[in-house]
Structure 1
Amino acid sequence: MKKKIVAILVNLELILMSLVVLVPVIWIILSAFQKGSGAGSITFSGLTLANFKKLFETTNYKLWFFNTLQIAVISTVLSVVLIMLTAWIMSRFNFRGRKTSLMTIMILSMFPTFLSMTAIYTLFLTLGLVGKPISIIIVYAIGAIPYNTWLVKGYLDGIPQAIDEAAYIDGCTRGQTFRKIVIPMAKPIITYCAVAQFMNPWMDYILPNILLSSDKSRTLAVGLFALINGRESTNFTIFAAGAVLVAIPITIVFIIFQKYLVQGVASGADKG
């Protein structure tokens, strides 16, 4: 009887959490196909694609999408390179100040990037980079290092150093060992870091809103929020249509790399 009660409670909790997640998603999807323009009641009769047409005709959605995709791809590549190099050095090399560096990285990972936005904005303003995509790319790439370095280091620590030593005996340099042995073996954790970084620009609002203020340099999150940023806004269904389209590339990437995501986060969490 006790096991049945526990099973019932667990299933009820899972159902409740599923509803909490699914109801808003279903509501926003249905809102995208409504005839009206406000956040009113949802009806299943007379669904239309007009909101998607208005989205492309009356806004710079295609430009926002391209900006976001550009930032996502470049920041992902740059951040993964920096993360892998930093984690590899921390995992494989012994040098003075190594423990201090690791502790510093761990402390930095505890603070969100937006806490230093005043200093970041002032720095980029001085350099003349405010309003340019390169500014947000730098923030994403550098900001990904602290937390992900610890995660990737834990994964690399689980790869025996004897493999590296065998490669050195066969004539490989450290760089060749890193490229031909370490990176292929670390594919799951690399994929996890890459997907996590790729998803950031699509959902982040605070940083792009501060650094990319002009309409032509906006990301999707900033551009879509501008559609409903007002008490008398009548663009909610257009906003919903844009939100549905935003979810498509993220969902595709997540489905394709789901296997590596699970392996990466699980392996990086229990090794070190």
Structure 2
Amino acid sequence: MNRKTKSKLEVTAIYVILAIVSVVIFYPLIWTFGMSLNQGTSLYSSTLIPENLSLEHYQWLFGPESDYLLWYKNSLIVSIATAVGSVVITSLVAYAFSRYQFVGRKNGLYVFLLLQMFPVMMAMVALYIFLNMIGLLDTLSGLILIYLGGQIPFNAWLVKGYFDTIPRELDQAARIDGAGHLRVFWSVMLPLAKPILAVVALFNFMMPMFDFLLPSIILSSQENYTLAVGLYNFINDQFANNFTRFAAGSVLVALPIAAIYLYLQRYLISGLTAGGTKG
């Protein structure tokens, strides 16, 4: 087999793999969107895109009979608070571990690494009891608190790796000009760390929007439901088979994620690649 034939086979194999991956990724999305436009409440449709398209399910979601907008607001509150809080807390923690030497620094990094190995499921009962003790059970504040605390180890390790790539000479030059610790952090480190902070913001915004397990355990009042919990009740309640409404609500969940991703995409690749260069 000559080199030209081998090259064609490799290119063909690559395109075949890309085609299979595309089908796996896009078929469920197209099917969900098509089902959201289907009349009635049936899960099944004779065609991928229904012949008689209808927006009745989207109209119902925004109507007075639905709590969808309330759940959407709750999810946005939790997601925005988690994203902003994670960026603030993580950047401060990572800056301290990256730039200062203090007792327990090395052990603290090992603890962060160790905590990432345990699934959140292990702490569900403890988190429930903890929120009940402090009076934040069945509240959005309690949910935000758990999200913020749970993401610190991974985010801090990621951002610290990025901070380590920023030359220390910039810090020293700023201090020679009279800048203090917070000034160096705010004026030197944060502007240079925009890519990795964009990654942290996006990941921590996405997680509460899609997470079902933690909100379903912490939240019990319908007015406090997030989107994942509220949409699940469309198909979980007795005699409920509102699969088309569930599909319509799921499609709308992707809108803020897509908007933020498009806005931050110029930072994402550089942030993800640089954040893991040093430990």
TM-score band, normalised by the shorter chain? over 0.9
Q: CA deviation at 1:211?
A: 0.6
Counterparts of 2:231 and 2:26, CA distance in 1: 21
2:145 maps to 1:138: yes
Q: Is the Cα contact below 8 Å between 1:31 and 1:42 reproduced in 2? A: no
2:175 maps to 1:171: no
Q: Is the Cα contact below 8 Å between 1:30 and 1:42 reproduced in 2? A: no
TM-score (norm 2): 0.94
- 1:39-188 matches, cutoff 5 A: 39-43=43-47, 44-57=50-63, 58-188=65-195
Which residue is equivalent to 1:5?
9
Counterparts of 2:46 and 2:270, CA distance in 1: 40
Q: Is the Cα contact below 8 Å between 1:68 and 1:220 reproduced in 2? A: yes
Deviation digits for residues 105-124 of structure 1, max 9, x if unmatched? 10011223232010000111
Counterparts of 1:146 and 1:116, CA distance in 2: 15
Which residue is equivalent to 2:41?
37
Q: Is the Cα contact below 8 Å between 1:87 and 1:153 reproduced in 2? A: yes
Q: Is the Cα contact below 8 Å between 2:71 and 2:223 reproduced in 1? A: yes
Amino acid at match of 2:20: L
Query: Identity of aligned pairs, percent?
Result: 40
Q: CA deviation at 1:271?
A: 3.4
Structure 1, unpaired ranges of 5+: none
Q: CA deviation at 1:42?
A: 4.4
Q: CA deviation at 1:270?
A: 2.1
2:20 maps to 1:16: yes
Deviation digits for residues 110-139 of structure 1, max 9, x if unmatched? 223232010000111122211110111011
Amino acid at match of 1:224: L
Q: CA deviation at 1:49?
A: 0.5
CA RMSD for the aligned pairs? 1.3
Amino acid at match of 1:62: L
Q: Which runs of 4+ in 1 moved over 6 A?
A: none
